[in-house]
Amino acid sequence: MFNNIKLQHQDKSNFIKAVAAGLLLIAIGCFVFYVNLVKKPLDGLFKKEYLVHIYPYSIDFTKSDSSKTFLFKLSPRDDYYYQGSFKDHFINRQDFKKNRNYLEESFLLIERIILGNRKLVWHVEGNITGLLTKADYMILDKKNGNVQIIRKLNTNTPIYAIGQTITVCNTCMITDENKRAYFNGEFLSDEKLSMVEKINFSPLIISKNQSISFISKIIIIDETGKTLLTFPVDKNQEVFFDEKYHLIEFKTFLNKGNKNVSQTVEF
């Protein structure tokens, strides 16, 4: 009988040790994940074609050589939503909250290490005219050197279109597959005209409220005519260009209930 009691006591002790050891290992592991994600957040991707980095208020794409020349950026302060005749930015505030989901980032990190899939996620939160809005951005590195940008707007307001907006570099020119270079009239100078002629493009003047029609691609070039980026244009998209702020908006009409839009960038 005494042996049985001793055995039971030993079993209980072993059980407690096992539970304590298991909990300790789980806690240490979770803490390691957390600390590593704080130390080196998953806020950047680098490839031969580009570097992308999440900054406090935008996601910036730059060249991957040591010059790190700016290419373009996206921000919830530039993106639009459309509701009836009303149009506004995702988030209007100058500052907005950035949310981190450590569990999601842990899975992304494991996916990156083991499978080599490279993704960035950015969750932001702010007010649109008094209503709380959450927007999620996902940057997916495609193996062919291209990038997919997914925007998801979480809001209760019914919206029928999203304006996916990018800000390009100051010296970048907006063109299409038919070698037309676009300008807003008031910013077209002789210097720009001669540059366009030099690289055998045709200048075209549009207002910032006029959509660029009958194109399948927007091609961003530098002053020498070298292609930097290409944005395929969908049939359900309208493209607008605001030269003052170097903004290109891809207004995408949504199916009912859908608040996700996706955009491909070819480098």
Write out the residues near another protein by the rule CB under 8 A: 14, 17-18, 20-22, 24-26, 28-29, 31-33, 35-36, 39-40, 46-49, 51, 64-67, 106, 109-110, 113, 116
Q: How far apart are the first and last CA of the chain?
A: 78
To another protein, the closest distance from the beta carbon of 232 in angstroms equals: 23
Of the pair 24, 193, the CB lying nearest another protein is at: 24
Of the pair 24, 205, the CB lying nearest another protein is at: 24
Segments in the chain forming alpha helices (H): 2-39, 102-115, 190-198
Place of tokens 């939503």: 81
Of the pair 28, 205, the CB lying nearest another protein is at: 28
Of the pair 64, 148, the CB lying nearest another protein is at: 64
Of the pair 144, 200, the CB lying nearest another protein is at: 144
Radius of gyration of the chain (CA): 25
Q: Helix axis angle, 2-39 relative to 102-115, nearest 10°? A: 80
Place of tokens 């992304």: 108
Residue 89, Ramachandran bin (φ over 0: left; ψ between -120 and 50: alpha; else beta) = beta
To another protein, the closest distance from the beta carbon of 111 in angstroms equals: 12
To another protein, the closest distance from the beta carbon of 110 in angstroms equals: 7
To another protein, the closest distance from the beta carbon of 145 in angstroms equals: 10
The H or E element spanning position 96 is none
To another protein, the closest distance from the beta carbon of 138 in angstroms equals: 21
